[in-house]
């Protein structure tokens, strides 16, 4: 007995050692197997983080766990992930571990967690699943029969919390299944395998940019019979749910070498009208408990035929309801007289011949009824729409009959009697002659609020007529914010705007009593993630945007326009809006007691808005323009001290801030300004006040500026003023220089001052001249101005003035002396020839007098400028 127990103990010990050691011994074999399969068959980068082999986890079977398994495509899908799984677990017989790397391994159980499979086909027809090597040969492995080596041993498999994406750029098809959970258990019955499967997922499906499913819940419990020898897969007992719509289906799919044979039929197990509400996603349909229904609703269909590169299976799917109704228990109104007669048909097997026929679709809420019928053909290529809509609908009743979650309550009354026929290519290519529409539509008492618009829009009434090629806006009366609008016009592409994501195009005549620009500007700001967020608040990070969906021409006539802090009267002109840019043509208005005309554009297409404008301001009030226009303040700060009228023509471009106001430091352009008639008040600006205090011969407050013109140019915040001339009280003034929008200045002014205006300081000098010479004598006084307008530095260049005046008097005296010498010479010659002889001492005396006169002149003039300023009325000499 002891010996037997000893042997048993040794065996148990060896078994434990084997269980512990085998994973280490054979782990490399499994890794070699994976790498072999990859290297021999796959043209892609296949990788995994780790591979773990255990005999304990699934004893008595071996368990292999692969973590972070991925397949990454090569060109033409370079870098795309074809497949990924966080974890793959496989159970197999221990015998499989002893096989050579080239031998097949039989797996009994597979569990795949958090997988992502992305199947893509590009516009050239390349598919990312074509990763098998070109020289691979696929050999069919027969089902195990007598003498065959293949055995189907898969007992159970799972796919948990996974995602499948199918994207085909050729057919413009996208199918996405998220939250996918699928499991199956297999059993062998003769030469067939029967799988019991359970599947749940959320499906989204779009075709040619039209979304037909959006996270619709799917559930399928299906028993599938697999005849692997004949590649025939039959559905036995099957129950499915789309959202909460139950379906039963039966039939088979069989694979042949060149085509697939399909024979499937499905139907709703009952005809309760709740089946219809169950089709609607739960987010919109809400809880169906307690909903009262009457009438029926059913779906049944047949899909039968072969599928290959040319054909699809033929189909006939019927969706029907007769005189049905429903009412939610917590809502005051219900929907009744619901009739549905719709078919999805393909009679030829050609995909382009698939069409949807809407024989009758009607419903009624209170006294309002609505009806539609028509067809949708050629669905996969150039869809042809042929529809009729007729009825009246009070939008407020929809919320009272159906539990919609909307940002605001619907309201307004819609009336329609419309027939339309068009194809999508004609919409996309703007071939409006192929669009045939007729009828009328109207909406009244409608209000609309949204983050896409700054203020609630109220449409009192709007009437539209549908014509064969265009749609006429016969009348529209609307208000929003402070603004009112009355419009007529034509809409060129309403169908393209609604169905083909085109900009809304049209031509409109708009009249308004009050139009506030900020009532129509949308603010956009960037979130922390960099995405654009629409906002109507005045956040300093917001930027007003011209709506991107408009491509329209507006001819407008408005009594009052408010733009920022400006008020414009009798504004007329044309605005063309396209590509987030407003083109202004011949805009005229009254502003600041004068007139304005402008042409140009404003664009919000780039992150920083821009503008390019030609502005003509005629006879505007200087005070009003300075107080309300930052542009005038920047271009001409001296206008603060002026009262009167101004005319200016400005061509400029630059950037705009978030409120679409020009950023002065960004401006480039030129201007021609003319002061028609203005008075000066030196106390209103330190610049003129300081200048006035230093000039003892000029009363600036008494100036009357008239017909003064100057040219300006500006670039990146610097304003250059071309030298210009004007006369003030007999004084010729020449001014020019530059200043910045930050008020820094650099100007040079020259005053041609009559010598008599210098006062008594130079009176003795001027007295040496005769009256005519004294009146004509002037001196140029250079003045340099620097610093800034609030604290200017004024430099009177008296040295130059003294030098000029001295030189002028010297020149005059020289001319006198020269004249006298010539006269004396003539007299001496006469005496020499016989006249009386005079003393030559007089010539010496005159020369000495001339020298003394020059010295006295310089001293007197210099002293006149440097003395303390006297009272202006007592020092100024006037004729």
Give the model's pLDDT for residue 878.
Answer: 39
Burial of 628 (0-12, 13-18, 19+ CB in 10 A): middle
Q: Find, among 24, 84, 88, 86, the residue nearest to 56 by Cα.
A: 24
Give dist(CA 637, CA 641) in Å, integer. Answer: 9
Helix (H) or strand (E) run with residue 808 in it: helix 798-832
Give dist(CA 634, CA 654) in Å, integer. Answer: 14
Determine how β-strand 107-121 pairs with β-strand 45-47. Answer: unpaired
Give dist(CA 217, CA 200) in Å, integer. Answer: 8
Give the model's pLDDT for residue 541.
Answer: 44
- The predicted-structure confidence for 592-635, as pLDDT tens digits, reads as follows 888 889 899 999 888 889 999 888 888 887 777 767 777 777 77
- The answer to which of 92-101, 514-523, 842-851 has the lowest mean pLDDT is 842-851
Determine how β-strand 107-121 pairs with β-strand 504-516. Answer: unpaired
- The answer to which of 14-18, 72-76, 190-194, 816-820 has the lowest mean pLDDT is 14-18
Give the residue carrying structure tokens 């031998």: 103
Angle value at C-alpha 358, between 352 and 360, nearest 5 degrees: 170
Within 228-291, strands assigned E span 232-242, 245-255, 260-267
Give the model's pLDDT for residue 125.
Answer: 82
Per-residue pLDDT at 570 exceeds 70: yes
- The predicted-structure confidence for 460-480, as pLDDT tens digits, reads as follows 898 989 877 678 889 989 898
With contact defined as beta carbons under 8 Å apart, do 354 and 384 qualify?
no
More confident residue, 513 or 623: 513
Instruction: Count, in order, helices (H) and strands (E) of the chain.
Output: 14, 40
Give the model's pLDDT for residue 778.
Answer: 76
With contact defined as beta carbons under 8 Å apart, do 482 and 502 qualify?
no
Give the model's pLDDT for residue 630.
Answer: 72
With contact defined as beta carbons under 8 Å apart, do 430 and 413 qualify?
no
- The answer to which of 12-26, 349-363, 634-648, 795-809 has the lowest mean pLDDT is 12-26
Give dist(CA 598, CA 591) in Å, integer. Answer: 12
Which residues does residue 71 pair with via DSSP β-bridges, in sequence order? Answer: 46, 83
DSSP string, 34-91: HHHHHHHHB-SEEE-SEEEEESSTTTTSEEEEEEEEEEE--TTSTT-EEEEEEEEEEE
With contact defined as beta carbons under 8 Å apart, do 358 and 377 qualify?
no
Per-residue pLDDT at 877 exceeds 50: no
Give the model's pLDDT for residue 843.
Answer: 47
With contact defined as beta carbons under 8 Å apart, do 94 and 107 qualify?
no
More confident residue, 794 or 282: 794
Most confident among 5-19, 551-565, 822-836 (mean pLDDT): 551-565
Give the model's pLDDT for residue 417.
Answer: 93
Q: Mean of the pLDDT values across residues 245-261? A: 87
Q: Using the 8-state DSSP alphabet, how is residue 870 labeled?
A: P
With contact defined as beta carbons under 8 Å apart, do 253 and 260 qualify?
yes
Per-residue pLDDT at 75 exceeds 60: yes
| Non-local CB neighbours of 20 within 8 Å, separated by 6+ positions | none
55 vs 101, 112, 163, 414, CA distance in Å? 20, 19, 31, 72
Most confident among 392-406, 540-554, 698-712, 834-848 (mean pLDDT): 392-406
Percent of the chain with pLDDT over 90: 12
Residue 790: CB atoms within 10 A of its CB come to 10
SS (H, E, C) 689-757: HHHHHHCCCCCHHHCEEEEEEEEEEEECCEEEEEEEEEEECCEEEEEEEEEECCCEEEEEEEEEEEHHH
Determine how β-strand 550-563 pairs with β-strand 543-545. Answer: unpaired
More confident residue, 68 or 410: 68
Mapped onto helix, strand or coil, the DSSP state of residue 160 is strand
Residue 29: CB atoms within 10 A of its CB come to 16
Please report which confidence band the pLDDT of residue 579 belongs to, taking 50, 70 and 90 as the band edges: confident
Helix (H) or strand (E) run with residue 490 in it: strand 483-491
Give the model's pLDDT for residue 15.
Answer: 46
More confident residue, 216 or 304: 304
Give the model's pLDDT for residue 345.
Answer: 93
Give dist(CA 821, CA 817) in Å, integer. Answer: 6
Please report which confidence band the pLDDT of residue 160 belongs to, taking 50, 70 and 90 as the band edges: very high
Mapped onto helix, strand or coil, the DSSP state of residue 275 is helix
Mapped onto helix, strand or coil, the DSSP state of residue 6 is helix
Q: Mean of the pLDDT values across residues 181-195? A: 77
Q: Using the 8-state DSSP alphabet, how is residue 401 labeled?
A: H
| Non-local CB neighbours of 278 within 8 Å, separated by 6+ positions | 242, 243, 244, 245, 246, 285, 288
Q: Mean of the pLDDT values across residues 766-793? A: 73
Task: Output the average pLDDT for the chain.
Answer: 76
With contact defined as beta carbons under 8 Å apart, do 805 and 779 qualify?
yes
More confident residue, 430 or 416: 416
Give dist(CA 693, CA 783) in Å, integer. Answer: 13
Which residues does residue 446 pair with via DSSP β-bridges, in sequence order? Answer: 459
Give dist(CA 312, CA 379) in Å, integer. Answer: 14
Per-residue pLDDT at 25 exceeds 60: no
Determine how β-strand 156-168 pairs with β-strand 107-121. Answer: parallel
Give the model's pLDDT for residue 52.
Answer: 79
With contact defined as beta carbons under 8 Å apart, do 800 and 779 qualify?
no
Give dist(CA 447, CA 412) in Å, integer. Answer: 7
Angle value at C-alpha 455, between 451 and 459, nearest 5 degrees: 110
Per-residue pLDDT at 519 exceeds 90: no
Q: Give the start-to-end residue ranges of the domains of the chain.
A: 504-722, 744-832+844-879
Where on the phi/psi map is residue 255: left (φ > 0), alpha (ψ -120 to 50), or beta? beta
Q: Mean of the pLDDT values across residues 376-383? A: 83
Helix (H) or strand (E) run with residue 872 in it: helix 872-875
The tokens for 504 are 């809304």
Please report which confidence band the pLDDT of residue 138 belongs to, taking 50, 70 and 90 as the band edges: very low
What is the rounded (10 degree) CA torsion for 660, 666, 670, 672? 60
Give the number of residues written for the chain. Answer: 879
Give dist(CA 738, CA 714) in Å, integer. Answer: 9
pTM of the predicted structure, to 2 decimals? 0.57
| Long-range CB contact pairs, 589-593, < 8 A, 24+ | 589/561, 591/566, 591/567, 591/617, 591/620, 592/617, 592/620, 592/621, 592/624, 592/625, 592/628, 593/619, 593/620, 593/621, 593/624
Residue 76: CB atoms within 10 A of its CB come to 11
């Amino acid at each position: 007995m002891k010996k037997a127990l000893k042997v048993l103990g040794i065996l148990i010990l060896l078994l434990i050692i084997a269980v512990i050691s085998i994973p280490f011994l054979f782990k490399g074999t499994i890794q070699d197997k994976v790498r072999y399969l990859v290297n021999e068959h796959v043209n892609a980068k296949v990788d995994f983080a780790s591979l773990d082999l255990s005999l304990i986890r699934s004893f008595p079977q071996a368990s292999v766990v692969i973590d972070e398994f991925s397949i990454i495509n090569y060109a033409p899908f370079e870098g795309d992930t074809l497949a990924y799984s966080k974890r793959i677990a496989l159970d197999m017989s221990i015998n499989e571990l002893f096989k050579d790397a080239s031998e097949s391994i039989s797996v009994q159980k597979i569990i795949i967690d958090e997988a992502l499979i992305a199947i893509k086909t590009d516009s050239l027809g390349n598919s990312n699943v074509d990763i098998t090597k070109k020289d691979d040969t696929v050999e069919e492995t027969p089902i195990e029969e007598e003498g065959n080596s293949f055995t189907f041993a898969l007992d159970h498999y799972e796919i948990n919390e996974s995602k499948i994406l199918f994207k085909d750029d050729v057919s413009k098809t996208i199918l996405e299944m998220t939250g996918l959970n699928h499991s199956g258990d297999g059993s062998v019955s003769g030469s067939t395998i029967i799988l019991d499967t359970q599947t749940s997922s959320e499906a989204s499906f779009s075709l040619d940019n039209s979304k037909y499913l959006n996270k619709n819940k799917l559930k399928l419990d299906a028993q599938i019979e697999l005849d692997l020898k004949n590649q025939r897969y039959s559905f036995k007992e099957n129950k499915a749910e789309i959202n909460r719509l139950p379906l039963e289906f039966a039939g088979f799919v069989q694979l042949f070498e060149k085509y697939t044979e399909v024979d499937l039929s499905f139907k709703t197990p009952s005809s309760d009208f709740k089946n219809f509400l169950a089709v609607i996603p739960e987010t919109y349909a809400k809880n169906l408990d307690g909903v009262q229904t009457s009438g029926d609703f059913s779906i049944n269909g047949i899909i039968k035929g072969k599928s290959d590169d040319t054909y699809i299976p033929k189909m006939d799917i019927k969706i029907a309801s007769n005189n049905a109704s429903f009412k939610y228990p917590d809502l005051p109104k219900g929907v009744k007289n619901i009739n549905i007669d719709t078919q999805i048909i393909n009679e030829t097997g050609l995909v382009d011949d698939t069409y949807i026929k809407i024989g009758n679709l009607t419903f009624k809420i209170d006294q309002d009824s609505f009806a539609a019928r028509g067809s949708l053909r050629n669905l996969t290529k150039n869809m042809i729409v042929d529809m009729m809509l007729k009825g009246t609908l009070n939008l407020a009743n929809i919320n009272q009959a159906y539990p919609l979650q909307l940002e605001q309550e619907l309201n307004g009354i819609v009336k329609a009697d419309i027939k339309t026929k068009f194809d999508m290519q004609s919409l996309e290519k703007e071939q409006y002659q192929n669009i045939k529409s007729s009828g009328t539509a109207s909406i009244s008492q409608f209000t609309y609020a949204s983050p896409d618009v700054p203020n609630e829009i109220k449409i009192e009434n709007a009437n539209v007529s549908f014509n064969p090629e265009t749609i006429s806006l016969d009348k529209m009366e609307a208000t929003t914010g402070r603004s009112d609008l009355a419009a007529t016009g034509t809409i060129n592409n309403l169908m393209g705007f609604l169905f083909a994501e085109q900009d809304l195009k049209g031509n409109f005549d708009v009249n308004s009593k009050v139009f506030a620009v900020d009532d129509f500007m949308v603010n956009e700001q960037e979130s922390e993630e960099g995405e654009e967020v629409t906002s109507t608040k005045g956040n300093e990070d917001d930027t007003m945007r011209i709506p991107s969906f408009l491509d329209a021409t507006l001819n407008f006539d408005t009594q009052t326009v408010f733009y920022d802090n400006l008020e414009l009267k009798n504004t007329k002109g044309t605005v063309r809006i396209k590509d987030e840019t407003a083109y202004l043509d011949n805009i005229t208005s009254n502003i600041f007691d004068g007139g304005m005309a402008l042409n140009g554009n404003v664009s919000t297409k780039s992150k920083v808005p821009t503008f390019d404008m030609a502005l003509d301001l005629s006879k505007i009030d200087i005070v009003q323009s300075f107080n309300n226009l930052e542009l005038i303040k920047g271009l001409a700060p001296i206008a603060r001290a002026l009262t009167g009228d101004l005319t200016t023509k400005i061509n400029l471009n630059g950037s705009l801030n978030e409120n679409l106001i020009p950023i002065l430091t960004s401006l480039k352009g030129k201007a021609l300004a003319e002061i028609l008639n203005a008075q000066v008040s030196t106390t209103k600006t330190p610049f003129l006040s300081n200048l006035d205090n230093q000039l003892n011969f000029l009363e600036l407050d008494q100036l009357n500026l008239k017909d003064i013109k100057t040219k300006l140019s500006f670039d990146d915040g610097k304003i250059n003023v071309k030298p210009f001339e004007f006369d003030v009280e007999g004084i010729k003034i020449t001014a020019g220089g530059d200043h910045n929008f930050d008020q820094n200045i650099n100007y040079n002014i020259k005053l041609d001052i009559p010598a008599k205006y210098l006062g008594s300081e130079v009176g003795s000098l001027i007295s040496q001249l005769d009256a005519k010479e004294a009146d004509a004598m002037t001196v140029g006084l250079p003045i340099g101005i620097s610093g800034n307008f609030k604290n200017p530095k004024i430099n009177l260049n008296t040295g130059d003035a003294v030098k000029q005046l001295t030189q002028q008097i010297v020149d005059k005296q020289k001319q006198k002396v020269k004249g006298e010498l010539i006269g004396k010479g003539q007299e001496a010659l006469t005496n020499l020839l016989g006249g009386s002889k005079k003393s030559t001492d007089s010539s010496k005396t005159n020369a000495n007098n001339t020298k003394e006169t020059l010295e006295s002149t310089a001293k007197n003039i210099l002293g006149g400028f440097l003395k303390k300023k006297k009272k202006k009325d007592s020092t100024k000499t006037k004729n």
